[in-house]
């Protein structure tokens, strides 16, 4: 359905547009440019809608975990609909609110900071394969690209904390910088394990290397790396129980105390977009991406063969997204020195040991994964 829509748009809107408006020499390039733009929007808009409803899901899920109902007042078109209108109402409220820039704040950096935190979170989606063929940029070093972009997210936090000219914001920024650098290394090593197992940096090839059955997926040979990757992902996105950068009970709201209105909500969107990204990556790297979980089971594989691969990817992603919410409702916040100890002294040694083990598995061609 998506493909037909895409073809319709490029046939009947883009093609005439370029043929009549653009000079002949540049028509091909213009066409490629417009098609890419459409594909970018086809990824970004669903991501942003998911971000909006992820906030709703978070409030609902944590509400149910804590024996509450959660938001249920704002509906759509006069119907209450379990509060489904809440994200839209929140968005309108935040857009309308004034953005207060503190006195003596560094204006340029203050405004740039939220953009710097959202842009990498969205740009990383360029290399995510949704299916065997559906990927915006099928680049060789896809995994490296994702790692590089997630490591850029820290700049938004640091610059926001510094530019706000506020003690609390600065404390939050310092905490976040140290934490993100620590966990990025563990995360990088976990991804090196995936790289060794798959023999490629291309995300599509990594998924295809896991084909076979549920047991063939990399979560089994890379189990410690998967656990470390996901926990580091929670730490990288500054989510509970690693949310010392916000720490509302100690430093009010950390790096974004001084932000209001849309500037604040851009930070919020970046956090949620990053969570979805980590969830998608966990599904792709360790849980077979778009591959069906019924692959290799005699009867069920044929029975479920009509289900599109994208459905499996989104289903797996949703499970990991739920884990983020579950963590937040379950665990108390880590103490800062314990976070540092966990990152440097526990995770990094474990990943290094497991890299040796994975290399041994690959070299000796251990079935079923590396035969």
String marking each residue 120-139 x if it binds another protein according to CB under 8 A? -------------------x
258 scored as a contact of another protein (CB under 8 A): no
**Residues 88-117 interacting with another protein (rule: CB under 8 A):** 109
Stretch binding another protein (CB under 8 A), from 62-70, 144-152, 262-270, 289-297: 144-152
CB of 282 to another protein, least distance (A): 20
Q: Using omega within 30 degrees of 0 as the cis cutoff, is the peptide bond preceding 295 cis?
A: no
145 scored as a contact of another protein (CB under 8 A): yes
Stretch binding another protein (CB under 8 A), from 50-58, 318-326, 333-341, 357-365: 333-341
The two structure tokens encoding residue 124: 């990383």
178 scored as a contact of another protein (CB under 8 A): yes
Instruction: Tell me the torsion sign for CA atoms 108, 113, 114, 120.
Output: positive
CB 283 within 8 A of CB 316: yes
CB of 50 to another protein, least distance (A): 26
CB of 348 to another protein, least distance (A): 13
CB 281 within 8 A of CB 207: no
Angle between helices 27-65 and 261-286 (to 10 degrees): 90
Q: Put residue 326 in one of left, alpha, beta given phi > 0 → left and psi -120 to 50 → alpha.
A: alpha
40 scored as a contact of another protein (CB under 8 A): no
The DSSP code for 331 is P
147 scored as a contact of another protein (CB under 8 A): yes
Q: Out of 17, 177, 214, 329, which residue is the one contacting another protein (CB under 8 A)?
A: 177
* Closest listed residue to residue 214, CA positions, set 289, 143, 309: 289
Q: How many CA atoms does the CB half-sphere of 337 hold within 13 Å?
A: 0
CA 91 to mean position of chain CA atoms: 20
Q: Out of 8, 69, 181, 352, which residue is the one contacting another protein (CB under 8 A)?
A: 181
Nearer to another protein, 198 or 321 (CB): 198
Q: Out of 61, 105, 121, 154, which residue is the one contacting another protein (CB under 8 A)?
A: 154
Element (H, E) at 101: none
CB 127 within 8 A of CB 136: yes
141 scored as a contact of another protein (CB under 8 A): yes
Stretch binding another protein (CB under 8 A), from 67-75, 93-101, 198-206, 233-241: 198-206
CB of 154 to another protein, least distance (A): 6
d(CA 46, CA 38): 13
184 scored as a contact of another protein (CB under 8 A): yes
CB atoms within 10 A of CB 93: 11
* Total residues in contact with another protein, by rule CB under 8 A: 32
310 scored as a contact of another protein (CB under 8 A): no
CB 127 within 8 A of CB 139: yes
* Closest listed residue to residue 39, CA positions, set 12, 59, 9, 73: 9
Q: Out of 50, 86, 164, 202, which residue is the one contacting another protein (CB under 8 A)?
A: 202
CB 74 within 8 A of CB 86: yes
CB of 133 to another protein, least distance (A): 16
350 scored as a contact of another protein (CB under 8 A): no
Binding site for another protein (CB under 8 A): 29, 109, 139-141, 144-145, 147-149, 151-152, 154-155, 158-159, 162, 170, 173-174, 177-178, 180-181, 184, 188, 200-202, 337-338, 341
């Amino acid at each position: 359905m998506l493909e037909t829509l895409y073809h319709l748009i490029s046939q009947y809107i883009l093609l005439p547009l370029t043929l009549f408006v653009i000079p002949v020499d540049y028509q091909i390039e213009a066409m490629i440019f417009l098609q890419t733009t459409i594909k970018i929007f086809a990824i970004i808009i669903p991501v942003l809608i998911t971000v909006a409803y992820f906030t709703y899901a978070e409030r609902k899920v944590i509400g149910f975990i804590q024996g509450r109902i959660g938001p249920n007042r704002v509906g759509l078109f006069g119907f209450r609909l379990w509060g489904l209108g809440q994200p839209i109402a929140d968005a309108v409220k935040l857009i309308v609110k004034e953005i207060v820039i503190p006195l003596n704040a560094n204006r340029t950096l203050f405004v740039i900071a939220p953009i710097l935190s959202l842009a990498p979170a969205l740009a990383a989606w360029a290399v995510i394969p949704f299916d065997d063929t559906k990927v915006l940029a099928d680049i060789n070093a896809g995994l490296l690209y994702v790692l590089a972009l997630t490591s850029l997210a820290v700049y938004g936090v640091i610059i926001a904390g510094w530019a706000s000219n506020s003690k609390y914001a600065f404390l939050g920024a310092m905490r976040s910088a140290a934490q993100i650098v620590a966990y990025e290394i563990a995360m990088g090593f976990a991804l090196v394990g995936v790289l060794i197992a798959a023999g490629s940096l291309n995300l599509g090839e990594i998924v295809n290397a896991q084909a076979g059955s549920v047991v063939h997926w990399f979560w089994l040979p890379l189990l410690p790396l998967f656990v470390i990757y996901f926990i580091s992902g929670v730490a990288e996105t500054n989510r509970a129980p690693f949310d010392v950068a916000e720490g509302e009970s100690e430093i009010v709201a950390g790096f974004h105390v001084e932000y209001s209105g849309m500037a604040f909500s851009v930070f919020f969107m970046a956090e949620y977009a990053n969570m979805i990204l980590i969830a998608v990556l966990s599904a792709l790297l360790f849980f077979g991406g778009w591959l069906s979980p019924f692959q290799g089971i005699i009867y069920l594989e044929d029975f479920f063969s009509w289900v599109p691969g994208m459905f499996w990817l989104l289903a797996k992603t949703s499970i990991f997204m739920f884990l983020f919410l579950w963590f937040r409702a379950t665990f108390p916040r880590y103490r800062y020195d314990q976070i540092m100890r966990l990152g440097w002294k526990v995770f990094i040694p474990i990943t290094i040991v497991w890299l040796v083990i994975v290399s041994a598995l690959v070299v000796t061609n251990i079935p079923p994964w590396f035969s």
